[in-house]
Amino acid sequence: MERRSLTAAILVHLAALLLLVVILAPVVWLFVMSISSTPDLIAKPLHWWPETVDLSRYGVLLSSAVNSAGQAFVASLFNSLKVAGMATVAALIVAIPSAWAVSRTPAVGWSLYAVIATYMLPPVALAVPLYMALSWIGLLNNVFGLALVYLTILAPFTTWLMKSGFDSIPREIESAATMDGARLDQVLRLITLPLAAPVMATAALFAFLLAWDEFFYALLFTSDQRAKTLTVAIADLAGGRVSDYGLIATAGVLAALPPLVIGLFMQRALISGLTSGGVKG
């Protein structure tokens, strides 16, 4: 390790402190807004820490009383869970066999590039026909319809991640098992898939986060509590008639909680997924 002068050490610590403040301040402020009473939020000069801590908004949003703000919020929370869950499972089901096939069969490798290329497509290029088709088959404003549409994003992405995962499992292990007389389905079920389990978990988390985060299609294809997702519900709050900024912040905290927890605890897996997927392609 290089030896540094005291000044250099102080500068590095100051810079680190600055970075810490830049990263944390907005997130902490979101939380502070969510627990500040309304007088604290509209005080001038602004109260950076509330004089009265007000946790009631969490109760309001998580209550399921009929026709309350909470009912709409809880409904959108469940819609987000359903859509993201279904889309993730469906994406993995179609991605795993194809990713394995591409990984083990160089002759079809070019098809992976076609799949990745679709990931670059702007959603606006597909939105109009998808809208018309969903409306035609009666799946507008429906969680199944939205989950189906999310496959446009999740399927290419999970295939890409799973392929680089299978690439890191030596194919010699598979051929050894085949020599010993195992059938292909046995090889995959007993050897390859268990070895690929960590990659699968990473791919599933990424897919879930992508779906949880999605806004454009949800805005277009859902219109009420039956299918509106959290992102649309929050955008409605932020852009609508709600004048209680604390309530908007509370909705933001609740929507951000699952991905933030996943992000912090799965840090290593997420970053290795990001870098390996990004570098190896």
Partner 1 sequence: MTSNWITTRAWFLMLPLLIVMIAVIGWPLVDTVRLSFTDAKLVGTEGSFVGLDNYAKILSGSNFQRTLITTFWFAVLSVAAEMVIGVLAALLLNQQFYGRSVLRALMILPWALPTVVNATLWRLIYNPEYGALNAALMQMGLIDAYRSWLGEPGTALASLIVADCWKNFPLVALIALAALQAVPRDITAASMVDGAGAWSRFRFVIMPYLAGPLMVALVLRTIEAFKVFDIIWVMTRGGPANSTRTLSILVYQEAFSFQRAGSGASLALIVTLLVTVLAVAYAALIRKSAGAS
From the number of C-beta atoms within 10 Å of its C-beta (0-12, 13-18, 19+), residue 59 rates as exposed
53 pairs with which residues across the strands? Answer: 36
Q: Per-residue x/- mask for partner 1, residues 25 to 54, rule CB under 8 A?
A: -xx-xx--x-------xx-xxx--------
The nearer residue to partner 1, 225 or 236, going by C-beta atoms, is 236
Which of helix, strand or coil describes residue 43?
A: coil
Considering only 53, 62, 132, 176, the residue that binds partner 1 (CB under 8 A) is 132
Q: By CB under 8 A, is residue 128 in contact with partner 1?
A: yes
Min dist CB 211 to partner 1, Å, is 11
For residue 36, list its beta bridge partners: 53
CB of 1 to partner 1, least distance (A): 7
DSSP 50: -
Q: Is 62 in the site for partner 1 (CB under 8 A)?
A: no
Residue 84 binds partner 1, judged by CB under 8 A: no
Torsional sign, CA 95, 200, 153, 167: negative
In degrees and rounded to multiples of 5, residue 53 shows phi and psi of -80, 130
The CA distance from 139 to 141, in Å, is 6
DSSP state of 226: T
State which residue, 43 or 65, has the beta carbon closest to partner 1: 43
Residue closer to partner 1 (CB basis): 65 or 223: 223
Binding to partner 1, residues 178-237 (CB under 8 A): 209, 212-213, 215-216, 219-220, 230-231, 234-235, 237
Size of the site for partner 1 (CB under 8 A): 96
